[in-house]
Amino acid sequence: MLLFLTVYAKIFGTLISQKLGLISGCPEGLNTKQAPGRLPGLTATKWLSYGRITIYSQWDECFGYNLLFEITAMFSNRFDWQAQPNALSTLLAQKKAAGQSVIDLTQSNPTRVGLAYDHEAILAALSQAAALVYEPDARGWPGARRAIAEYYQEKGCAIDPEKLFLTASTSEAYGLLFKLLADGGDEVLIPSPGYPLLAYLARFEGLQAVAYPLRYDPEQGWQIDLDLLEALIAPKTRAILVVSPNNPTGSYVKPKELSILDELCRRHDLALVVDEVFADFAADPSASNRLGSVLGRTQCLTFVLNGFSKVLALPQIKLGWIAMAGQARLTLEAGHRLESLLDFYLPVSAPVQYAVAPLLGLRPAIQSQIIQRLQDNEQILRAQVAGLSNSRLLRREGGWYAIIEVADHLGDEERVIQLLAQANTLVHPGFFYDFHRDGFLVLSLLPEPSTFQTGVLNILQAFGKQSA
Ligand SMILES: Cc1ncc(COP(=O)(O)O)c(C=O)c1O
């Protein structure tokens, strides 16, 4: 087997591609074939990275294995730009290319699951003449902030519109807060299992996301391991991030947990960032420990995040916000700084800002449909899982996801690939959300009930063992 090296060197911003070694005699077309037993698209595999040098191995039927050295002087290391498609995404792409229909139980795009939106009202809200004049306000148009303050009022929380800041999304709000609170190399604590984007958003700002665990107890549901969280606080820690209810565990931060987090943040001079995008979707809204919002319940510097992508199930509108709370001295200082940061980006789109109040008026109609859908699908799932000896449905307090725990010998990746290969059904493996071990499947509860039921039957036929 011949080995040759390909060196890509970028010097002074110019790409010099130089091949070292023997290149000859390969019949045309032969070197494009796949390695035996490999899936298409997986031809180059990352071996290791050291600083700005990355080494890949690549199969070539003509020459055998190539080693590719890449020296990247031009691009940042904030992201794994060379990430290869994994076996699941490759299989999914193959199925789509072959025209096979897949039951997608990862579907969490609310605009694709047959909900009835008031199209006329949405379009009318977005076409107000006031938006034809550009009147920038870094915090966002005051009328929009007042409408959001009323949304909190309805939840029983008072907030001064001056402590609200509009952003283009919750994700953008995270980026702004990281810039406000931390310098490159600092750390933020994030929940695990948790929403996979958080670690990336931190990394994009040069920060390190450190995971604190949530533990499951059949009686109590999911709870934050507060002792371990405290042990993870280091001199470089700048903020504790909480998602309530958490994605995908569906667990709300409990009043008792919140008061301990508040005390920890004050003691260690940390900010508390609470993402409440799913807070309006409680499985049992009457449960006293499911906080509609943490606003007004903390004294530390607190930032509450939310937006229209979940509150109104309109991710395409692109509106998020930050609600700030805490001691007056701190919020005054933080408010000035946040406003300065926002000023560099200029405000959210004017048509969206003027649409805030009328769109919020559509909230009961859309949220009631979603809550009904979540309940119906969870009921289907509960009924199917009930008769199985090796699977259980974990307790959901809120949010859009369900978790099935399966006790068998399969790894999560193997399980989801088998399910897609044999039953054309797509679910998320637990590791996608950083579960601490194999044995978990995450399902979106949003798909239409008939689709959901078929998908659930497929899953349970594949892995479920009937109780004796
Ligand atoms: C917990 C959580 N936060 C934030 C977001 C993103 O919200 P946005 O669309 O406002 O960026 C999501 C999206 O699924 C989410 O699950």
Which CATH number does the domain housing residue 326 bear? Answer: 3.40.640.10
Place of tokens 């409440």: 276
- Which structural domain, as residue segments, surrounds residue 157? 119-361
**400 compared with 62, residue with greater pLDDT:** 400
Is 306 found in the same domain as 393? no
Number of structural domains (the chain) is 3
pLDDT of residue 61: 63
Q: Which residues line ligand 1 (CB under 6 A)?
A: 169-171, 195, 243, 247, 275, 277, 307, 309, 315, 320
H helical segments located in 98-212 = 119-125, 142-154, 170-181, 197-204
Question: In the predicted model, is pLDDT for residue 236 greater than 60?
Answer: yes
Strand, helix or coil for residue 103 = strand
- Which DSSP helix (H) or strand (E) runs through 259? helix 255-268
> Residue range 117-128: average pLDDT?
98
Task: Examine residue 468 and state whether it is found in any structural domain, yes or no.
Answer: no
From the alpha carbon of 247, which atom of ligand 1 is closest? 1
The span from the CA of 265 to the CA of 300, in Å, is 6
Q: Whose C-alpha lies nearest to ligand 1, atom 9?
A: 309
- Domain identity same for 72 and 33: yes
- Give, for ligand 1, the residue of 167, 177, 197, 273 to mutate: max count of ligand atoms closer than 8 Å to Cβ: 197
- Residue 171 Cα to ligand 1 middle (Å): 6
Question: Are 9 and 102 found together in one domain?
Answer: no
Answer yes or no: are the C-beta atoms of 278 and 310 closer than 8 Å.
Answer: yes
**The two structure tokens encoding residue 351:** 């048509």
Chain centroid to Cα 125, Å, comes to: 28
The pLDDT of residue 15: 35
From 108, 171, 401, the mutation candidate for ligand 1 (largest count of ligand atoms within 8 A of CB) is 171
For residue range 262-300, what is the model confidence (pLDDT) as tens digits?
999 999 999 999 999 999 999 998 888 889 999 999 999
67 lies in the same domain as 128: no
pLDDT band at 63 (very low <50, low <70, confident <90, very high): low
H-run or E-run covering 287: none
Q: Do 263 and 316 share a domain, yes or no? A: yes
Better-scored residue on pLDDT, 166 or 80: 166
Q: Which of 4-13, 46-55, 213-222 has the lowest mean pLDDT?
A: 4-13
Residue 306 has pLDDT above 90, yes or no: yes
* 442 in a structural domain: yes
Do 317 and 241 fall within a single domain? yes
Q: Do residues 43 and 58 lie in contact, with contact meaning Cβ atoms separated by under 8 Å?
A: yes
How does pLDDT run across 9-56, given as a tens digit for each residue?
A: 333 333 333 333 333 334 344 333 333 333 334 456 777 777 777 777
Does 165 map to a domain?
A: yes
Exposed, middle or buried: residue 456 (CB in 10 Å: 0-12, 13-18, 19+)?
buried
- Write the single-letter amino acid at 304: V
Which atom of ligand 1 lies closest to the CA of 319? 10
Give the 3-state secondary structure of 413-425. HHHHHHHHHHHCE
User: Do both 128 and 189 map to the same domain?
Assistant: yes
- Shared-domain flag, residues 149 and 298: yes
User: Does pTM surpass 0.75?
Assistant: yes
CA of 65 to the centre of ligand 1 (A): 41
Examine the domain organization and report whether 392 and 333 are in the same domain: no
Residue 22 is predicted with a pLDDT of 30
Compute, in angstroms, the gap from residue 440 CA to the centroid of ligand 1: 22
- Bridge partners of 404, per DSSP, are 393, 441
Percentage of the chain modeled with pLDDT above 70 = 88
Nearest atom in ligand 1 to the alpha carbon of residue 308 is: 10
